[in-house]
Structure 1
Amino acid sequence: MSALSGVSEEEAQGLALAFGINTIGDLAENQFIRAAVAINALAKVTDPPA
């Protein structure tokens, strides 16, 4: 997990314990991350910047 910029070893351990995220692939496939990305994309479509 330390391959992610700004993620310490302690934070990586927390992600592993809380969400089972051990790799960047795990992070990308996480249901909560995927939902956040989808919500962000939809927000841009429904309320484009002025």
Structure 2
Amino acid sequence: MTTLIVNIDNQTSVKAVKAFLESMGLSYSVDTNVSTHAWWEDESLVQELERRS
């Protein structure tokens, strides 16, 4: 089994993603208790990534 984690803030998009997964015949689960770090909002991290690239 492969796990794909997708962070979606927009409820309309959540519905679209679920519909897509169902149309592909894929099984999925939704865990609303998981949160991730918004690394793209971390200015020092973004600057470091830009420096390294």
User: TM-score, normalised on structure 2?
Assistant: 0.28
Structure possessing the higher relative contact order (Cα contacts under 8 Å, 6 or more residues apart): 1
**Structure 1 or 2: larger helix share?**
1
User: TM-score, normalised on structure 1?
Assistant: 0.28
